[in-house]
Structure 1
């Protein structure tokens, strides 16, 4: 009997990708349309960031999240709703005077990253499990142990399942500690994020080592960015995990061919099927993750 694999589509992210592909959704209507198309193509879960419709930059505006969730909720599909709660951790420092914050900084407390989760009560929200030098330059993503414990406790109170975003082995160590401390309701859901500079590199041996650190009873997903995205679908499935694709992490279906979210979902579903497994329906994903609540519309 085939295993049910949860297929997540990360629709848009907050990166500087809007000018790189005409398929990256920006407005709430575009993001919702992409979510609906991805679900029709087979996505079990849609992972949602929102963007400022005027600038295309990532946003924490609750009204934008509210509109996306409403539009998806009124459609003919019912994917599991996963809202990012990672926005608000960006710290850009002057390298010559690190006491000075530079433009691009968007740094708030762990609880202040949750207003849209408080209001909309999505089925899943993300929780980034540590601080990270994020790419070149002077951007640091800040998520301290105190912030994480406070955020995890509040997310648990809300009845929302946290997807623990893990960018390196130290973050995996801390995620395991939060599970041990009872801050994460069972079953835990881990997302092993590969290839984001400068976290865990795209390496099959490292993925295997990280999977070996995952606590028993945990549901886990892994993804890799860019040209490694689709091959990582196979890597994750072969090691017993779930998968994620989408324009947040990769803009191409193949070299020189720009993708839509729905096309990436279709290709991922083909890979899963070719390995003898099957894509979980949204309700099957809810059963696997022990989710019994739905986002407020």
Structure 2
């Protein structure tokens, strides 16, 4: 990424699959909630909307294309934000389930985790005194014995298939080794720049939220790829969200917020909407004299195919 560019892409991850409804009354779980919160986040300044689906009956993550169809087309019609569909789904889903809607929609962007890993929030279960739905407690506690699978073959097959659709990726890197996995596929010719690295901090099983790790991921990516060949972005989990993404922007990167990554707006205060987090980071960035990227800017920066070339 050119060091002369000060436009910062704000991504918003609207609901995800890790948090459960008992963690926040404001977590969007119905198609209507996801749709309205995504549109509001785009209006607040999010250029990219990262989307998962949930079963509207009880909020559990679902790969169902029918559920996605209840909110994704409406979001695409109401806003020009880049639609980014997860290929991560949840650790409970098969690879084919995780890819089901993305294969149909052929969006401008998909997320792609760059390796298999332990991924867990299970210590949080001890802090929850009551559960809204029967499935939640076992789901959160069960993360202790789950592995998020993305083998080299899985990644290679996804890259090869989605290359045919013209879909580009948000490459989610939870550790330094994931950057080297990414470099492997660049060397194989399956990934061409400019590519979008989403570096993730604060997930148990991945790299910790130490500020030094942000600089480590940035310098490692520079060494592997050359700064001019990629766009860097920061995801800080939980209470580390705002401080780490602000640091990332200062280091020349982009930012991701949203209720998938943190259910809080500030210490002890739950975010009522995704847009609250978007507005907060936008204010911080603008006070630091950064310009906020529009969806058109994001499409140009990331070499996206355009909303008109999808099947949303």
Q: Give the equivalent residue in structure 1 for 2:281.
A: 268
How far does the alpha carbon of each residue in 1:43-85 deviate from its partner, in whole angstroms, 9 at most, with x for none? 111110110111201111111222221111222x211101111
Q: Name the TM-score, length of structure 2 as normaliser.
A: 0.86
Structure with greater proportional strand content: 1
Q: How big is each residue's C-alpha offset from its partner over 1:230-255, in whole Å with a ceiling of 9 and x where there is no partner? A: 11221110111100001011111112
When residues 291 and 187 of structure 1 are mapped into structure 2, their CA distance, relative to the original with a 3 A threshold, is same
Shift of 1:256: 2.2
Secondary structure of 2:70 counterpart: helix
Aligned to 1:165, the other structure's residue is in SS state strand
Offset, 1:115: 2.3
Q: Match for residue 56 of structure 1?
A: 59
Would you say 1:285 and 2:288 are equivalent positions? no
* 1:153-197 Cα deviation digits (max 9, x unpaired): 111111000111111111111011111211113211111010100
Aligned-residue CA RMSD (Å): 1.5
Residue 150 of structure 2 corresponds to residue 165 of structure 1? no
TM-score by length of 1: 0.90
- Write 1 or 2 for the structure with the bigger share of helix: 2
8 Å contact 2:257–2:278 — kept in the other structure? yes
Aligned residue number for residue 248 of structure 1: 260
Any conservation in 1 of the 2:19–2:260 contact (CA below 8 Å)? no
The partner residue of 2:77 within 74, 78, 83 is 74
Give aligned pairs, total.
279
For residues 51 and 200 of structure 1, what CA distance do their matches in structure 2 show?
A: 27
> Aligned-pair distance for 1:113?
2.9
CA separation in 1, counterparts of 2:295 and 2:275? 16
| Alignment counterpart, residue 6 of structure 2, candidates 3, 11, 27 | 3
User: Which residue of the partner structure matches residue 101 of structure 1?
Assistant: none
Aligned to 2:235: 223
User: Are 1:31 and 2:40 counterparts?
Assistant: no
Residues 167 and 305 in structure 2, CA contact (< 8 A), matched pair in contact too:
no
Do 1:35 and 1:72's aligned partners in 2 also have CA atoms closer than 8 Å?
A: yes
Deviation digits for residues 196-223 of structure 1, max 9, x if unmatched?
0010000121221111121121112111
Shift of 1:112: 5.1
Structure 1 unpaired stretches of 5+ = 91-104
- Cα distance in 2 for partners of 1:232, 1:251 equals 16
Whole-angstrom distance in 1 between the partners of 2:27 and 2:44: 17
Which of the numbers 21, 24, 28 marks the counterpart of 1:21?
A: 24
State how far apart, in whole Å, the 1-side matches of 2:311 and 2:36 are.
18
Going from structure 1 to structure 2, the CA distance change for 1:2 and 1:126 (only over 3 Å counts) comes to: closer
Alpha-carbon separation, structure 2, partners of 1:279 and 1:232: 18
Once residues 198 and 266 of structure 2 are traced to their aligned partners in structure 1, the CA distance between those partners, rounded to angstroms, is: 24
Counterpart secondary structure, 1:189: strand
Aligned ranges 1:69-108 → 2 under 5 Å: 69-75=72-78, 77-87=79-89, 90=91, 105-106=92-93, 108=94
Residue 122 of structure 1 deviates from its aligned partner by 1.1
Query: d(CA) in 1 for partners of 2:98 and 2:267?
Result: 36
Given candidates 170, 178, 181, the residue that maps to 1:174 is: 181
